[in-house]
Amino acid sequence: MKEFDLSILTEPLLEWYEKNKRTLPWRECVSPYRVWVSEIMLQQTRVEAVKPFFERFTNRLPDIRSLAECPEDELLKLWEGLGYYNRVRNMQKAAIQVMEEYEGMLPADYETLLHLKGIGSYTAGAIASIAYEKPVPAVDGNVLRILTRVAEDDTDIMKASFRKQVELQLMEYMQSEAFVGKSPADYNQALMELGATVCLPNGAPNCQECPWRELCQARKNNSISELPVKAKAKQRRIEKRTVFVIRDGERVAIRKRPKKGLLAGLYELPNVEGHLSQEEALLYVKEQSLSPIRIQKLPEAKHIFSHVEWQMQGYAVLIEEPEQIQSFLYVEAVTSEQLYAIPAAFAAYAKFMGIKIGQERFLDVDTSEILLR
């Protein structure tokens, strides 16, 4: 990052944080495990949305041992709606490693944490600093945004080399004489908090509220709207799919996804590639050795993953009770809501099963309005 004296930012930042920090569940009863869970959840979802997930997850799995021993289906169910399911799978692998090699305690050492599955420099820094007060940085998108603005640095923040450079600069500063007596936990959380609540990612930042307003080079030179510089992400691949809500009265057909690939190991509504006409959809159902009684077209929906966008159309199909166990699993709607992790990609169609999945259950919003075109 551009030559900039980081030490001049610290006092105003910590004073501001002391007065403005939010009360958050993971900031009460701080433990390495709780910091870890919250940081992984926060990498993918807003603070407000994470709160109920965090409470539910840590109530059911209060420590590393319970996470290490949790059956996979239940683990995925607890994560349902948060997306990026590999993250929770990696957490479990790391928890098993911690049980075997560190007597169930997450290590305090930054470098050792980096060797655990799924823990990168940001998470290692967050655990070591917030839970153990180690002077190491935790650099996420918020931190990159506020530092490039305050220093008026126009390097592309998507470059891994730039992130590494910022981490090294912060590491050097946090381990220098100038930082002695300061709390690494407060410092890192204050940086994140400023990015999340004042120097906002979308829309205009609240510079009037900012403790750095007199120091900020981007504000001084009127370049805030140009920073941070972010190379455009690759365009998402569009995938058309047809989704089936197949019911035989009370029960609905679901199936388990393959062990590898997108949404691996989760449950889903049957679906096929392409947009099928009503006749083609009926044929598909018959090919599964099912006897359709009625078919109804459902509204279109879309779901955005990091690299793919699903554009879906759906059919609700009422069938005669299947004579033998077919390729699908037939479950009562309420059972599927309680036991089977169905990814949020199907939220728009899950309501035709009479269930809510993922965030819908926690946030009292009708995601169908968001998802349906």
Distance CA 199, CA 149 (A): 9
- HEC per residue, 213-233: CCCCHHHHCCCHHHCCECCCC
Choosing from 34, 77, 89, 219, the residue that interacts with ligand SF4 (CB under 6 A) is 219
Under the criterion CB under 6 A, does residue 207 sit at the interface with ligand SF4? yes
Under the criterion CB under 6 A, does residue 150 sit at the interface with ligand SF4? yes
Give min distance, CB of 3 to ligand SF4, in A.
17
Choosing from 213, 230, 302, 361, the residue that interacts with ligand SF4 (CB under 6 A) is 213
Closer residue to ligand SF4 (CB): 213 or 302: 213
Under the criterion CB under 6 A, does residue 143 sit at the interface with ligand SF4? no
Q: Is 39 a catalytic residue?
A: yes
Give min distance, CB of 170 to ligand SF4, in A.
16
Note whether 256 and 283 are within 8 A (CB): no
Give min distance, CB of 220 to ligand SF4, in A.
9
Give min distance, CB of 91 to ligand SF4, in A.
33
Under the criterion CB under 6 A, does residue 216 sit at the interface with ligand SF4? yes
Closer residue to ligand SF4 (CB): 189 or 336: 189
Of the candidates 86, 71, 84, the residue with the CA atom closest to the CA atom of residue 44: 84
Under the criterion CB under 6 A, does residue 301 sit at the interface with ligand SF4? no
Closer residue to ligand SF4 (CB): 122 or 212: 212
Under the criterion CB under 6 A, does residue 152 sit at the interface with ligand SF4? no
Under the criterion CB under 6 A, does residue 251 sit at the interface with ligand SF4? no
Question: Which DSSP string corresponds to 242-280?
Answer: EEEEEESSSEEEEEEPPSSSTTTT-EE--EEES---HHH
Closer residue to ligand SF4 (CB): 64 or 146: 146
Chain centroid to CA 5:
33
Under the criterion CB under 6 A, does residue 134 sit at the interface with ligand SF4? no
Of the candidates 342, 347, 354, the residue with the CA atom closest to the CA atom of residue 369: 347
Note whether 85 and 74 are within 8 A (CB): no
Choosing from 96, 114, 224, 295, the residue that interacts with ligand SF4 (CB under 6 A) is 224
Tokens encoding 354:
């009479």
Choosing from 13, 198, 252, 344, the residue that interacts with ligand SF4 (CB under 6 A) is 198
Per DSSP bridges, beta strands 292-304 and 308-319 are antiparallel
Site size for ligand SF4 (CB under 6 A): 14
Among positions 59-98, residues that touch ligand SF4 (CB under 6 A) are: none
Residue 358 DSSP symbol: T
Instruction: Spell out the residues 6+ positions from residue 132 whose beta carbon is closer than 8 angstroms to its own.
Output: 32, 108
Question: Which DSSP string corresponds to 107-124?
Answer: -S-HHHHHTSTT--HHHH
In this structure, which amino acid lies at residue 23?
T
Under the criterion CB under 6 A, does residue 137 sit at the interface with ligand SF4? no
* CA separation, residue 44 to residues 71, 177, 219, 310 (Å): 23, 35, 29, 19
3-state secondary structure of 303: strand
Query: 39, 80, 152, 360: which one is catalytic?
Result: 39
Closer residue to ligand SF4 (CB): 219 or 247: 219
Under the criterion CB under 6 A, does residue 199 sit at the interface with ligand SF4? yes
Closer residue to ligand SF4 (CB): 128 or 143: 143
* CA separation, residue 280 to residues 55, 244, 295 (Å): 45, 12, 11
Give min distance, CB of 150 to ligand SF4, in A.
5
> What amino acid positions are annotated as catalytic residues?
39
Residues near ligand SF4 (CB under 6 A): 146, 149-150, 198-199, 205, 207, 210, 212-213, 216, 218-219, 224
